[in-house]
Chains A and B, each alone.
Chain A
Amino acid sequence: MKKVVIASGLVAALLATSAGAAETLKIGYINTFSGGAAILGKHQRDGFDLAIDHLGGKVGGLETEVIYGDDQRKPDVAKSLADKMIKKNRVNFIAGITWSNLLMAVQKSVTRSKTFLISTNAGASPMAGKLCNPYFFTTSWNNDQMPEAMGQLVQEAGDNNVFMMAPNYQAGKDMLAGFKRYYKGKVVGQILTKLGQKDYQAEISQVRAAKPETLYVFMPGGMGIAFMKQWGASGLAQSIQLYTVFTVDHLTLKPIGKAAIGTFHTNFWNHESDNPVNQKFIADFQKKYGYMPSHFAAQAYDAPLLIDSAVRAVNGDLSNKDGIRDAMRKADFKSVRGGFRYNTNHVPIQNFYRREVVAGADGNAKIVTTGVVFKDYKDSYYKDCKMTW
């Protein structure tokens, strides 16, 4: 946990408001910074930090202190960190969290303490539905939105005879179920692979034996990189169209390499959009960190902007929680994704784009946005949420 006091004394003096004492705004940031999946935490943190930079280190006009915590991907550690940030550091907001199970572990006590919790990645469906909470917001998505968009994409493309594959865990099953909500064609086969498995030659053989036209996979992280490389080596890409979700993105594109060319996926973020906030985000991100941001960084970038808009709306009065909430619901800020609107369950209503991987000028894989699958798309769980406003 690093204490980073991001403040500029001169700027603070210049912008000091007359209303009341200028408090420090404290934001706790919890993510995974160690271990095998640390890259996800890094992307989000880099996006989050860049937004704070762009706000001049003063979110909502207040001196801002960000306190970081490494959850080590463990639910009890995440909760302990959250408790510490609330009780000891007295944070006003907690942001971050990559994993759905860690979100579920943390959300109870954070919301109980009436501290705002903003997920910059985890999109566990209970939080969009039955367990929606006045103190919980997300700047990413609901887990099912991406596979639903994928199902729609495949349905629209008229591709049929789909074979599906995902690892055998909750997210994997959700990805397959979400897909089937919009894809109404024939499913010729389905495999749930072992979580953490790296060698997919046997599965590829099974896919070939089933003779599908289309293959839909969800393979996050290292599993996906391995699978895509092996798929590329199998020669089946000529005869079977591959659609992926949460597998190919700007984070995994380089290690996957040319094997990704010719595949399609969906994403809420149109990185090619000429929206000035987006362009500035990408340009400054590359300048500061030296790599192309992924959607993980983009969704985390929006979080400080959201907080900023809310705190400004209440003139820095952090004790006015209802006011902050109302302001957050308005989401009156310029997001990297263009317009930003919240649904009743505090999950963004956003577009989902059709993205294709093509060969760039240098022959390497490049992601391009080739259409819109869903415009202003709501998740499938908001009706279970009892909040009204």
Chain B
Amino acid sequence: MRSADRYRLIRRVAIVAGMVVLLVLPFITEAIDEPFYVDLVTRFMIFAIAAASLDLILGYGGMISFGHAAYLGIGGYAVAIFSFYGIDNGFLQLTVAIVGSALVALVIGAICLKTSGLYFIMITLAFTQMLYFLGVSLEEYGGDDGVNTNRSEFFEALDLYDSNTFYYFVFGLLVVCVLGLRRIVGSRFGRVISGAKSNELRMRAIGFPTFRYRLVAFAVSGAVCGVAGFLLGNLTEFVTPEYMHWSRSGELLVMVVMGGTGTIFGPVIGAVSFLLLEEWLSSLTEHWLLFFGPSLLLLVLFAKRGLYGLISPPTGEAE
């Protein structure tokens, strides 16, 4: 029976190894002359940020949000709308993506967090559908035809049109977001959120205004996802309300569970695995969903704590 220390070591090694691989990937792909993989992994990392942000409220807070993709849209439109008017300043766009997502999350959260269980799931779904239909009606910005955008400009030196530069830019933000989220869940704030997940009554009895804590977590989670949306708009150089569709939210949920809820690192692995699996299977046959669908079912049935759970001690201590 492995001790908890052994598991901790394995996890540390795995995380460091993962970071190293991501760090040197562009060099490897250059050596084997497969530059496409830089773009592919960039897309993986963007969704990893989105999945990690969802884990804050899902894994730690127990809030199953079927509306998280809304912030991908908000972040994306922050880039596209400014670009539409000729403003490609990345600092401005990123700030608006973060603040805008946080504000929208606050409003949505204020209403949704009054409910729980399936009601919560449905009302988060409702809000994201409303945003989706709103986006479709906005003719000015292309409606559902979407709108092309330029990549953001930060400094003269930072040319985001270069695949490798963009890759490291996303990687940097991924590291910042993941470490930031880990800090939050390790803090007192994070512990209140997890406490409220397991026993809300007790937390309130102790004197914590759980609603307020949850709302803040909801807003932070939305804001980080807005960063992912900002990056997605940049990657595709195109934004459309389809980014906010409920099926996208469903995919984010799958990524989190696949990786392992309540771990922040897990969802990163989950996002990469999910997209890798999708990329691989769809190249094999046009009926790839016949295999992809049941694999989600099997994942849920047999890998209860996700991929990250495979290298965690059986007691499942939250670390």
Instruction: Flag whether B288 is at the interface (Cβ < 8 A).
Output: yes
Contact A80 B285 (CB under 8 A): no
Contact A83 B36 (CB under 8 A): yes
Instruction: Flag whether A170 is at the interface (Cβ < 8 A).
Output: yes
Contact B144 A170 (CB under 8 A): yes
List the one stretch of B135-143, B164-172, B258-266 in contact with chain A. B135-143
Q: Which residue of B lies closest to A41 (CB)?
A: B286
List the one stretch of B111-119, B232-240, B303-311 in contact with chain A. B232-240
Q: Which residue of B lies closest to A108 (CB)?
A: B237
CB distance from B140 to the nearest CB of A (A): 11
Complex: A304 Cα to B272 Cα, angstroms: 36
Contact B145 A87 (CB under 8 A): no
CB distance from B166 to the nearest CB of A (A): 12
Complex: A79 Cα to B146 Cα, angstroms: 14
Instruction: Flag whether A74 is at the interface (Cβ < 8 A).
Output: yes
Contact B35 A87 (CB under 8 A): yes
Q: Which residue of A lies closest to B37 (CB)?
A: A88
Contact B136 A1 (CB under 8 A): no
Instruction: Flag whether B39 is at the interface (Cβ < 8 A).
Output: yes
Range class of the B interface residue count: 20 to 34
Contact with B along A149-179 (1 / 0, CB 8 A): 0000000000000000000111101000000
Complex: A101 Cα to B34 Cα, angstroms: 28
CB distance from B204 to the nearest CB of A (A): 41
Query: Given A34-B288, A80-B43, A75–B242 Cβ distance below 8 Å?
Result: yes
Complex: A79 Cα to B283 Cα, angstroms: 15
CB distance from B274 to the nearest CB of A (A): 13
Instruction: Flag whether B148 is at the interface (Cβ < 8 A).
Output: yes
Range class of the A interface residue count: 20 to 34
Contact A195 B240 (CB under 8 A): no
Contact A72 B285 (CB under 8 A): no
Name the contact of B36 in the complex, choosing from A75, A76, A88, A101 (C-beta under 8 A): A88
Contact with B along A32-58 (1 / 0, CB 8 A): 011100100000000000000000000
Residues of B within 8 A of A79 (CB): 235-238
Q: Is the interface of B mostly helix, strand, loop or mixed?
A: helix
Contact B286 A34 (CB under 8 A): yes
Instruction: Flag whether B158 is at the interface (Cβ < 8 A).
Output: no
Instruction: Flag whether B296 is at the interface (Cβ < 8 A).
Output: no
Contact A83 B286 (CB under 8 A): no
Query: Given A88-B34, A101-B240, A105-B238, A76–B283 Cβ distance below 8 Å?
Result: no
Contact B136 A76 (CB under 8 A): no
CB distance from B88 to the nearest CB of A (A): 14
Instruction: Flag whether A100 is at the interface (Cβ < 8 A).
Output: yes
Instruction: Flag whether A65 is at the interface (Cβ < 8 A).
Output: no
CB distance from A93 to the nearest CB of B (A): 18
CB distance from A67 to the nearest CB of B (A): 9
Contact A168 B137 (CB under 8 A): yes
Contact with A along B101-131 (1 / 0, CB 8 A): 0000000000000000000000000000000
Residues of B within 8 A of A35 (CB): 289
Residues of A within 8 A of B285 (CB): 2
Task: Give A75-106 interface residues, CB cut-off 8 Å to B.
Answer: 75-76, 79-80, 83-84, 87-88, 100-101, 104-105
Which 6 pairs of residues, A with B, have the shortest CB-CB distance? Answer: A1-B283, A87-B36, A105-B238, A170-B145, A33-B286, A170-B143
Known: A101-B238, A108-B148, A170-B144. 5 other contacts (CB 8 A): A76-B243, A83-B39, A87-B34, A170-B136, A194-B133
